[in-house]
Amino acid sequence: MEIPGGARGTPPPHPLSLRKMEDIVTRIQDEKAGGVAIRTVKSFLSKIPSVVSGADIVQWLMKNLSIEDPAEAIHLGSLIAAHGYIFPINDHVLTLKDDGTLYRFQSPYFWPSNCWEPENTDYAIYLCKRTMQNKARLELADYEAENLARLQRAFARKWEFIFMQAEAQVKIDRKKDKAERKILDSQERAFWDVHRPVPGCVNTTEMDIRKCRREKNPHRVKKSVYGVPDDGQSQPSPVHVSSQPARKPTREDVQKEITFLNTQLDRHCMKVSKVADSLMTYTEQFLEYDPFVSAVDPSIPWITDDTTFWDLEASREPSQQRVKKWGFSLEEALKDPAGRDQFLKFLESEFSSENLRFWLAVQDMKRRPHQEVSSRAQEIWQEFLAEGAPSSINLDSHSYERTSQNLKDPGRYSYEDAQDHIFQLMKSDSYARFLRSNIYQDLLLARKKVSYTHTPRSLICTALTHSSRFTGQSTFLPSPMVMSFG
Partner 1 sequence: MSQDPLEGCRISAGKKSAVSLGKALHPPNLLVVVEGTCGACVAASPVSAPEGSCSYNVAHHHLCVCVRVCMAWQGLQKGETLASLKQESENLRRKLEEERGKLTDVELHQVAEKVETVAALSIKTRRVLKGHGNKVLSMDWCKDKRRLVSSSQDGKVIVWDAFTLNKEHGITLPCTWVMACAYAPSGCAVACGGLDNKCSVVPLSLDRNENVTAKKKSVAMHTNYVSGCSFTNSDMQLLTSSGDGTCALWDVESGQLLQSFHGHTADVLSLDLAPSETGNTFVSGGCDMKANVWDMRSGQNIQSFDNHQSDINCVKYYPSGDAFASASDDATCRFYDLRADREVAVYQKDSIIFGASSVDFSLSGRLLFAGYNDYTINVWDVLKGTRVSVLFGHENRVSRVRVSPDGTALCSASWDNTLRVSRT
Rounded to whole angstroms, the Cα distance separating 220 from 254 reads 34
351: number of Cβ within 10 Å? 7
- Residues in contact with partner 1, counted by CB under 8 A, come to a total of 103
Rounded to whole angstroms, the Cα distance separating 50 from 104 reads 6
Does 216 participate in binding partner 1 (rule CB under 8 A)?
no
User: Residue 88 Cβ, how far from partner 1 at the closest point, in Å?
Assistant: 19
Does 235 participate in binding partner 1 (rule CB under 8 A)?
no
Q: Which of 38, 41, 67, 170 binds partner 1 (CB under 8 A)?
A: 67
Q: Which of residues 88-127 bind partner 1 (CB under 8 A)?
A: none
Rounded to whole angstroms, the Cα distance separating 415 from 411 reads 9
Whether the CA torsion 363, 368, 372, 374 is positive or negative: it is: positive
Stretch that binds partner 1, among 110-118, 257-265, 383-391, 442-450 (CB under 8 A): 257-265
Supply φ then ψ for residue 389, to 5 degrees. -65, 145
Q: Which of 154, 270, 445, 446 binds partner 1 (CB under 8 A)?
A: 270
Minimum CB distance to partner 1 smaller for 284 or for 409: 284
Q: Which of 178, 216, 219, 247 binds partner 1 (CB under 8 A)?
A: 247
Rounded to whole angstroms, the Cα distance separating 103 from 53 reads 6
The partner residues of 52 in beta bridges, in order of sequence, read 103
Does 258 participate in binding partner 1 (rule CB under 8 A)?
yes
Q: Which of 43, 262, 349, 394 binds partner 1 (CB under 8 A)?
A: 262
| Local structure of residue 86 (DSSP, 8 states) | E
Q: Which of 33, 132, 149, 275 binds partner 1 (CB under 8 A)?
A: 275
User: Residue 364 Cβ, how far from partner 1 at the closest point, in Å?
Assistant: 9
221: number of Cβ within 10 Å? 9
User: Residue 52 Cβ, how far from partner 1 at the closest point, in Å?
Assistant: 19
Instruction: Tell me the per-residue interface mask from 36 to 55 with partner 1, x by CB under 8 A, - otherwise.
Output: --------------------
For 27-84, the DSSP string reads HHH-GGGT-PPPEEEEETTEEEEEEEEHHHHHHHHHHHTT---HHHHHHHHHHHHHTT
Q: Which of 242, 278, 438, 475 binds partner 1 (CB under 8 A)?
A: 278
User: Residue 216 Cβ, how far from partner 1 at the closest point, in Å?
Assistant: 14
Does 153 participate in binding partner 1 (rule CB under 8 A)?
no
Q: Which of 7, 272, 388, 397 binds partner 1 (CB under 8 A)?
A: 272
Q: Which of residues 398-437 bind partner 1 (CB under 8 A)?
A: 412-413, 416, 419-420, 423
Instruction: Tell me the per-residue interface mask from 359 to 398 with partner 1, x by CB under 8 A, - otherwise.
Output: ----x--xxxxxx---------------------------
Instruction: Tell me the per-residue interface mask from 432 to 471 with partner 1, x by CB under 8 A, - otherwise.
Output: -------------------------xx-xxx-xx-x-x--
User: Residue 448 Cβ, how far from partner 1 at the closest point, in Å?
Assistant: 25
Cα angle, residue 460 at apex, residues 458 and 464 outer, rounded to 5°? 120
| Local structure of residue 102 (DSSP, 8 states) | E
Q: Which of 140, 149, 154, 246 binds partner 1 (CB under 8 A)?
A: 246
Contact 263/296 with Cβ under 8 angstroms?
no
User: Would you call 49 exposed, middle or buried from its count of C-beta atoms within 10 A (0-12, 13-18, 19+)?
Assistant: middle
Stretch that binds partner 1, among 150-158, 295-303, 317-325, 471-479 (CB under 8 A): 295-303
C-alpha distances out from residue 145 to 42, 84, 138, Å: 31, 22, 12
By C-alpha distance, which of 342, 343, 293, 336 is closest to 314? 336
Q: Which of 95, 309, 317, 324 binds partner 1 (CB under 8 A)?
A: 309
Strands 39-43 and 86-88: unpaired
Instruction: Tell me the per-residue interface mask from 322 to 351 with partner 1, x by CB under 8 A, - otherwise.
Output: ---------x--xx----------------
Rounded to whole angstroms, the Cα distance separating 282 from 115 reads 48
Minimum CB distance to partner 1 smaller for 109 or for 282: 282
Cβ-based neighbours of 449, under 8 Å, separated by 6 or more: 317
